[in-house]
Chains A and B, each alone.
Chain A
Amino acid sequence: MKKMIWAAWVALFCYHGSANATLNVVATYGWIGDLVQQIGQERVAVTVLAQASFDPHFVPPKPSLAVKLRNADLLVINGGQLEMGWLPPVLRQASNARIQPNSEGFLDLSSLVTLSNPRPHATRADGDVHPDGNPHYVFNPDNMAALAYGVAHQLCHLDKAGCGFYEQSLARFDERWQKEKQGWQQRLLPLKGKQLVQYHESFDDLAYWLGMTVVANVEPVPGVPPSASHLEKLLKRLADQQVVMVIQEHFRDREATEWLAKQRQVKWQVLPSDVGATPKSKDLFSWFNELVERLAP
């Protein structure tokens, strides 16, 4: 019996570290984890905190998250207040001085790009808005070069011996991304100048990149689900708009957008909002491939 208890104890709590990698990197979301992996390759061990099938705004705080943060050398976050509702307490509970904000092992990717639509004077009556700007900047593929560069720079900063290695994989990643990006752009060219309706403000930057116009959000204000009467009003308001599609993220209730698309008899599409959200979205490239496939006319 004593032996069994001891074995259970060891199985439950036994220390395991990543043996070969030089850096332990924790990323808040799947796409960040994959970006770090693409640049760091075998020199990094990447752990992702959020579950891709869940809403990125509301990651359930769990003790296991504190454990993942405990031994990290680098924490890479999306920023723009996207993690504000869940990361600070688990970060505090991880008691890891290396990855606190303002320390060497902390990278806020939002600081590398220009966020669209900053609303520094918003109040909570405007809904769940992010004063720094729209934090869903990853949906504009033009941002990826700056993000990849930032990650490579940070990895090199923490792992001097690997600088040459990171430089090489950054160049490789950049080249492939630019090439794929052109393909995606070609594929979605027919959408240019068209109008769309989205559930939440997630796809502002995607629409911008495609040259599309977002004519309405289904949410009355960010973070507040629409009521039936709000949907009716929205439908009326859209009567004289030439909307071509209604889109939303995969983790939300689908009735509202589906109903709206049906009423307008336009394309209705549910998009994976992160790497790992669907079986096909394995990495950044396949994720964007899937986004493009689902958007393509």
Chain B
Amino acid sequence: MQQVGKSKLVILIAQLHLWKKQRENDMKKTKLSLAIGLLVAGFNAYASDDLSVLKAQIAAQQAQLEKMMQQMQALEAKAQQVEAKVTPTAAPASVTTEQKAASSYQGSLDQARAASRKLSDPVKVGGIKRNPFSGSNMNPDVAFILDGSYVNRSQSNSAYGALGMPGFFHELGGAHEGHAHGGGYNLNNGFNLNYGELVFSAAVDKYFDLFAVIHAGESGAALEEAYANTRSLPFNTQLKFGKFLSGFGRLNGQHHHYWDFADQPLIYQGVFGSHGLLEKGVQATWLAPTRNYLLFGAEALQGDNEQSFGTKAISVKSDKIFADKDTAFASQVDGAGLAVGFVKTGFDLGNTSWMAGASYGAGKMRLDHTSDEHGPHAKAGSVAITGLDLTGKYFLDATRYLMWQSEYIKRELTDGQVATYPSNSGGASDGLITPKLSQNQSGYYSQLIWKFAPQWRTGLRYDAIDQNSIKVAGTDKNTPYGDRNTVMVEYNPTEFSRIRLQYAQNGAFFTEENERKRFDEILLQFNMAIGAHGAHSF
């Protein structure tokens, strides 16, 4: 409407200008004819020699001329007035800031409209100034995450480091010949620097996103994760490839700094180790076209995990007398050795969001601990891991919730064999390969988290191993197992910093001699993030 009115006015101005020009031309003509008239009149006067007549004629003509000049000035003024009314640039000089701002709003609107006169124009308005989700002008987004703790437990460092979970891992503090045992973080009484993590992420191009995590301890760093994700595949599918945390279970895909407790549940620690199921490979997911969230995923992974899988061939010294003679124990796993599949669903019931998942992974175990100081051993066989998870999250408002999360994981080893001998330094011919090994192990955790204020959370967790059947040649080894109680309270000044106090009663760890060591543990954890760190998912 406004625009139409304006264009009409523009036409009006143009017409006015044209008319003005015509009038000017007319005036010129008038002036010319006037001059000619004067000349003729003067000639006539001379000719007639009648001065009084001439004077009267000149006076009359001068009056006419003045009248015409006045008319012309008036016309010009009128034209200028009209122009001032319709041209916004001809605003009075004393414009208040408010008026200026108002006209800039009007200006931005006009710009938007001018960018495309018709709605059907193919030009896109309202693009994005820059990536609206980028936290910095840098490309890629970079973040650094620091995790440290102060620990006080009723066990000396050396006694704690010698503990293990029979049938899963031994020597929490031990790390030798390239393999770390189950331990990981918060190992020492007093101060611990668990890790510093550099996280990079950005869109590679229209087709891929790339994420990389460089995980550093005090003395060394490793490329923990590096994977690309497709961003434009059709039919709600996605492909991921590189090294990444498997989609198995609920907790496995989450990073340590996002967990609700400072440590993993026992079953995770036992089955996947401190870094979880972190593998090289490829993942495909499909979000099914259903009313509720239903995600299917499949992964082909290398199977390097040291707790449950492995790829390298193992040879053992089967007879201590012929210590140099190695006997092939298990062949190399050639190619991708681990297949994982999962299905996840989620639905809302009122203010409660439910999430459930089922996961399955199958591969080969190649557990080579033949170089251990105490009780060297090796295990091989086929492993199948099953996981079930269920989470309910009741939102009191946007920042307060009550969440109950539980997971059950079962690991089965079949067609297995085990090699044991008491000591690497001994000379006795005790080496023994037993071809018939089967393991049936499972555990779970159940935790309740209450975010009772925007900056505060508290939670309790019960986690346990509930089955630990290890049969060698049909004989159950009666391997012991235990459980743990944990409570925590945390203060999050902002979403970038966290201070967590955690207390645990641990009854799940045993000495090398399978003797249970109960102990208490108080842990104060600090976790901070700087830089552009993306939001976390559900």
Binding site for B on A (CB under 8 A): 12-16, 51, 53-55, 57-67, 70-71, 77, 79-81, 83-90, 92-97, 100-104, 106-114, 120, 124, 128, 132, 140, 142-143, 145-146, 149-150, 152-154, 156-157, 160, 163, 166-167, 170-171, 175, 208, 211, 223-225, 251
Contacts and interface: CB of A to CB of B under 8 A. Distances in A.
A153 B285 CA distance: 34
A92 B295 CA distance: 13
A62 B538 contact: yes
A62 B353 contact: yes
A59 to B, nearest CB: 6
B474 interface: no
A109 B344 CA distance: 33
Interface in B100-136: 101-102, 104-105, 108-109, 112-113, 116, 118-120, 122, 124-129, 131-133, 135
Contacts of A96: 236
Contacts of A128: 494
Contacts of A153: 112, 116, 119, 125-126
Contact of B535 (A14, A89, A112): A89
Contact of B291 (A12, A90, A92, A154): A12
A111 B237 contact: no
Contacts of B237: 95
B376 interface: no
A109 B353 contact: no
A63 B345 contact: yes
11 contacts: A61-B537, A89-B534, A95-B233, A95-B285, A97-B233, A108-B128, A111-B127, A146-B112, A154-B126, A160-B120, A225-B454
A9 to B, nearest CB: 10
Given A60-B538, A146-B109, 13 more contacts: A15-B289, A15-B291, A64-B292, A67-B292, A89-B534, A92-B209, A94-B287, A101-B131, A108-B132, A111-B129, A114-B104, A152-B119, A224-B494
B373 interface: no
Nearest to A147: B126
B98 interface: yes
Given A89-B534, A108-B132, A157 B398 contact: no
Contacts of A167: 119
A108 B398 CA distance: 23
B320 to A, nearest CB: 55
A84 B536 CA distance: 11
A108 B126 CA distance: 6
B49 interface: no
A149 B112 contact: yes
A25 B166 CA distance: 55
A62 B236 CA distance: 17
B428 interface: no
B206 interface: yes
B236 to A, nearest CB: 4
A55 B496 contact: no
Which of B232, B290, B355 has most chain A Cβ within 10 Å?
A: B290
Nearest to A80: B132
B275 interface: no
Contacts of B401: 60
B139 interface: no
B353 A13 contact: no
B126 A112 contact: yes
B238 A95 contact: yes
Contacts of B119: 152-153, 156, 163, 166-167, 170
A60 B535 contact: no
A67 B289 CA distance: 8
Given A61-B536, A101-B131, A108-B132, A95 B293 contact: no
A154 B209 CA distance: 26
Contact of B292 (A12, A59, A88): A12
B346 interface: yes
A111 B125 CA distance: 9
B134 to A, nearest CB: 9
Interface string B223-252: 000000101111011100000000000000
Contact of B530 (A106, A124, A143): A124
Contacts of B398: 51, 54-55, 57-60, 251
Nearest to A88: B133
A96 B120 CA distance: 25
Contacts of B90: none
B109 A149 contact: yes
A208 B122 CA distance: 35
Contacts of B286: 95
A63 B1 contact: no
A54 B346 CA distance: 21
A94 to B, nearest CB: 7
B177 interface: no
Contacts of A114: 104-105, 108
B334 interface: no
Nearest to B201: A88
B303 to A, nearest CB: 26
Contact of A63 (B122, B131, B293): B293
Contacts of A225: 454-455
Contacts of A146: 105, 108-109, 112
Interface string B66-97: 00000000000000000000000000000000
Given A109-B126, A150-B126, A251-B398, A64 B353 contact: yes
Contact of B353 (A63, A95, A124, A211): A63
Contacts of B232: 97, 100, 103
A87 B133 contact: yes
A12 to B, nearest CB: 6
Contacts of B44: none
A153 B291 CA distance: 30
Nearest to A17: B289
Contact of A12 (B98, B238, B347, B393): B347
B448 interface: no
Interface string B192-233: 000000000000001001000000000000000000010111
Contacts of B231: 92, 97, 100
A95 B231 CA distance: 7
Contacts of A145: 109
Contacts of B191: none
B105 A63 contact: no
Interface string B33-58: 00000000000000000000000000
Nearest to B124: A157
A227 B108 CA distance: 40
B294 interface: yes
Contacts of A70: 236, 287, 289
A101 B538 contact: no
Given A53-B397, A55-B397, A84 B537 contact: no
A63 B347 contact: yes
A51 B353 CA distance: 13
A119 B46 CA distance: 86
Interface string B1-38: 10000000000000000000000000000000000000
A157 B104 CA distance: 26
Contacts of B234: 97
A100 to B, nearest CB: 6
A12 B238 CA distance: 24
B495 interface: yes
Contacts of A51: 398
In order of increasing CB-CB distance, the 4 nearest A-B pairs are A63-B346, A63-B293, A54-B398, A89-B537
Contacts of B236: 70, 94-96
